[in-house]
Amino acid sequence: MDIVKELKGGSLSRTLVVSDGARLLVRKLISRTHNREYGLVRWQSQIRKLQLLNRFLPHSSAFVERVGEHGDYLFYDIPYLDQAINCYQSLLLGESAALIAERIVELLRNMASISYGSVTGSIAVYICEEVLSPLLLASELIDTGRLQLLESEQVLFRDAVHNGISKARRLIDLYRDVSISESLTHGNLTLENILWSPLSKQLTIIDPYAETYCETIIGDVSQLYQSSLSGYEYITELFESVPFTIDEYPCKKIPDPLIRFSEHLARLLEKEEWYSRAHLQLFRASQFTRMFPFKLESRPRHGAAFMMHGINLISSISC
């Protein structure tokens, strides 16, 4: 295989476009030795989730053609979609926010229809693992001086995290006996993980995530809001280029196409019987706490800033 170019990869992975001489493939590699818990284990579960999604949504999801090893790396190959652009870039390039929102809600509806039944307590488990655990990790790191922040930010972050821990524990108590309908999900349905074909106006989902603890489609919806209403991809790029403070999340700088998409999405979702605004706020907040362990590897201060945003979202939840 010849390497054609390298794409933006996920946490701890590399993503390449490769050629076998006849056609192009996308190859996702992961280290066999480095940070296996957040790398190899999740890479392997991603393969299984891709196979599951392709079984039920063959026209909307990528499929795994091959897996293999190359030195210290393992890899899997999926087809390369010529001309496809992820939905984040498509919106910024002027594609119809209303049309993309409509297509995505169709996809969500199809996944929600593949029901796993009702499960009691899974939201509480989710909060424990994806909200409380990252907050406890952040508390430990700041209390032991292992999280490098500006001196003016340390007390602010410590207080916010401690408040978040208290709120998370109350939410666990609130949801301990609550039942929720579970179904097929993507698990990491950000706008970057949905490819858009400008010609066919169709979607293809990539890079799913299997370890979600609570298989509710509202979790997928919250990741769309993570990308649009909270502008995660845009804010990440902004943090790379300008000075920032961890307590001032720059919501007002999020581009208008992303905001318009979130508005179209909200109007469409209100019509779906499985939609829950209350659950959405919780899951949206969790997206910014659960990423904290991944950010520690390369961008710990970014992780703190996104954690603060998550805590602010959690604080608006009544319990």
Predicted confidence pLDDT, tens digits, the chain (319 residues): 899 999 876 666 889 999 999 999 999 999 998 878 778 888 999 999 999 999 999 999 999 999 999 889 999 999 999 899 999 999 999 999 999 999 999 999 999 999 999 999 999 999 999 999 999 999 999 999 999 899 999 999 999 999 999 999 999 999 999 999 999 999 999 999 999 999 999 999 999 998 889 999 999 999 999 999 999 999 999 999 999 999 999 999 999 999 999 999 999 999 999 999 999 999 999 999 999 998 997 899 999 999 999 999 999 998 7
Q: Which of 37, 62, 79 is the last residue in one of the domains?
A: 79
Q: Which of 79, 112, 147 is the last residue in one of the domains?
A: 79
Are 186 and 58 found together in one domain? no
Q: Provide the CATH number for the domain around residue 196.
A: 3.90.1200
Are 251 and 292 found together in one domain? yes
- Phi then psi for residue 90, to 5 deg, are -60, -45
Are 303 and 155 found together in one domain? yes
Sheet holding 24-31, edge to edge: 2-7, 13-19, 24-31, 73-79, 66-70
Q: Which of 230, 317, 273 is nearest to 113 (CA)?
A: 273
What does the pLDDT look like over 248-290, one tens digit per residue?
Answer: 999 999 999 999 999 999 999 999 999 999 999 999 999 999 9
Are 284 and 260 found together in one domain? yes
Q: E strands within the chain?
A: 2-7, 13-19, 24-31, 66-70, 73-79, 85-86, 115-120, 179-183, 194-196, 203-205
Q: Which of 188, 298, 312 is nearest to 250 (CA)?
A: 312
Q: How far apart are CA 38 and CA 13, in angstroms?
A: 10
| Cβ neighbours, 10 Å, residue 140 | 12
Q: How far apart are CA 291 and CA 303, in angstroms?
A: 7
Are 105 and 71 found together in one domain? no
What does the pLDDT look like over 162-211, one tens digit per residue?
Answer: 999 999 999 999 999 999 999 999 999 999 999 999 999 999 999 999 88
- What is the domain extent for residue 22? 2-79
Are 75 and 89 found together in one domain? no
Q: Provide the CATH number for the domain around residue 40.
A: 3.30.200.20
